Structure 1
């Protein structure tokens, strides 16, 4: 790991942050920037002088942000946690390298319920049988999702068709002018690492699509699907049993939709499913736990959260705890 000598500050750099589930990636970046803009590790002395004595206010986070350039190398959904690569200064020019790099994920699939976003934050689209699905059936279906495959992105996504986001067609009942273009991706590995069965606390989303919303989605899909009718399986609706869940681990190329893998896999075993949890454990060389030569572990979110509340005391060299933690995981650009 490149080390920054005291005489070389401020630096441009890359480092990884362990994003928690809940906040958006952009809010994490904005919070980190509030600290970065006030640190001699990253900011010029004249810029530090301008904000000296000004307290950190996360509600008015633009204060001081413009003094240091910062960005992230690949957004994580709010429900997801794990590796988020941060670039500071000239490090932002290296962030594109992480968009197409190899990534590793762990995700929990909950069977029996399909949502509009393919994850737990969406609304129920339909319920389907799940009691018949076994671990052996799921594992037998995995090979068709490994290797160079094509994926169809969710219709409730921001991808555009003829200048209009796909979700707009779905919400307004506008027929899609043509099928959604499939995307080539590579799934290097895919395996079931834990079969939870019914022994878990995951539940289907409470939010449900209204009749009007379902009709709008059906209208959007007409012409590109033989039968776009959306309906629940009546036996599933009446069944109060805990639905089956399992955990997948995968290593994929950039641009892969984990949500689509879960959605399509559930369909392939005669059910429906969505993502309940999602963790990115690797993004290029940045990882949660080092296991290969060259791996670079990330800084915990708790380190930044604590500093945002109280930056703490400085050591004999003038560094706070969060700065020391970042320097231990820093790649100087």
Structure 2
């Protein structure tokens, strides 16, 4: 049985969506998933990267305090993850006016407080128009971006002197206000790769002559994947459910590859 599971696990290839809960990093979630799969298959992991027992990766870091969709690549699927990094993403976020933090979200230390009672819903909606389309954005200091091979967030926590990265071009496809109950407001955001929702909320607060930080952040879509009931939560992180998810979420290129392989093997192609 263990040999069969090991064989099945190592034959898995493709992309599938998992749910990352708040409070853990994307890397921690991925390592937990990988450990569970290897343990179920009775396999041990090699520590050397080039000799990994199981190739697995994710298609873009999600903030540790955020939750939602994390696209995972397994086997040859890891080669497809680059498209996830640059593709379209959707988020739902709740911001809080009048409060700024060093991390730009609720996990950080409050660094500034400002009045916000002068801000109306109309003010907010007008401000959002200036953040739609091709814009420039300064990434957060607490981020996965690196300096000299080390993450900025790690350098900041170690007390190192770190300068913010220069503003860079990003794209916001859609931005809508879905709730406004000061100091809280909720946005639906659709954006391209390299975009930081925390920076958006910071910039909106400054544009409204106040300050703001993220209270809650959920990624609801990444590329062709959406956060729904088929997204694998931790209780379904096992070989069988991963295999089912790969079949359910097979991309057109994967489906065509499987069809051709089936024909090469001399079997009748799947007509479903």
- TM-score by length of structure 1 reads 0.64
Q: Which residue of 1 aligns with 2:269?
A: none
Q: Which residue of 2 aligns with 1:192?
A: 177
Q: How does 1:135-150 map to 2 (within 5 A)?
A: 135-150=121-136
> In terms of Rg, which structure is larger?
1
Q: Which residue of 1 aligns with 2:32?
A: 31
Shift of 1:329: 3.1
Q: Deviations over 1:216-270 (max 9, x none)?
A: xxxxxxxxxxxxxxxxxxxxxxxxxxxx101010110100111111000011111
Q: Deviations over 1:271-319 (max 9, x none)?
A: 11100110111100010149xxxxxx52233423xx6xxxxxxxxxxx8
Most deviating of 163-172 and 249-258: 163-172
Q: Which residue of 2 aligns with 1:331?
A: 250
1:299 is aligned, of 215, 227, 232, to 232
Q: Which residue of 1 aligns with 2:190?
A: 251
Q: Which residue of 1 aligns with 2:13?
A: 12
Q: Deviations over 1:156-215 (max 9, x none)?
A: 445456888766589858595xx7411101101101112233xxxxxxxxxxxxxxxxxx
Are the structure 2 counterparts of residues 169 and 11 from structure 1 closer, same or farther at C-alpha, using a change threshold of 3 Å? closer
Are the structure 2 counterparts of residues 331 and 158 from structure 1 closer, same or farther at C-alpha, using a change threshold of 3 Å? closer
Counterpart CA distance in 1 for 2:28 and 2:187 is 28
Shift of 1:109: 0.3
Counterpart CA distance in 2 for 1:19 and 1:160 is 23
Are the structure 2 counterparts of residues 328 and 38 from structure 1 closer, same or farther at C-alpha, using a change threshold of 3 Å? farther
Counterpart CA distance in 2 for 1:68 and 1:162 is 28
Are the structure 2 counterparts of residues 34 and 181 from structure 1 closer, same or farther at C-alpha, using a change threshold of 3 Å? same
Q: Which residue of 1 aligns with 2:4?
A: none
**CA RMSD for the aligned pairs?**
3.4
- TM-score by length of structure 2 reads 0.77
Say if 1:36 and 1:68, in contact at 8 Å, map to a contact too: no
User: Residue 269 in 1 paired to residue 204 in 2?
Assistant: no
Counterpart CA distance in 1 for 2:157 and 2:53 is 41
1:181 is aligned, of 166, 188, 201, to 166
Shift of 1:331: 2.3
Q: Which residue of 1 aligns with 2:265?
A: none
SS at match of 1:282: strand
Are the structure 2 counterparts of residues 330 and 191 from structure 1 closer, same or farther at C-alpha, using a change threshold of 3 Å? closer
Are the structure 2 counterparts of residues 252 and 327 from structure 1 closer, same or farther at C-alpha, using a change threshold of 3 Å? closer
Shift of 1:8: 11
Unaligned stretches of 5+ residues in structure 2? 1-7, 255-272
Shift of 1:141: 0.7
Are the structure 2 counterparts of residues 170 and 268 from structure 1 closer, same or farther at C-alpha, using a change threshold of 3 Å? farther
Are the structure 2 counterparts of residues 34 and 283 from structure 1 closer, same or farther at C-alpha, using a change threshold of 3 Å? same
Are the structure 2 counterparts of residues 23 and 163 from structure 1 closer, same or farther at C-alpha, using a change threshold of 3 Å? closer
Shift of 1:143: 0.8
Counterpart CA distance in 1 for 2:60 and 2:160 is 31
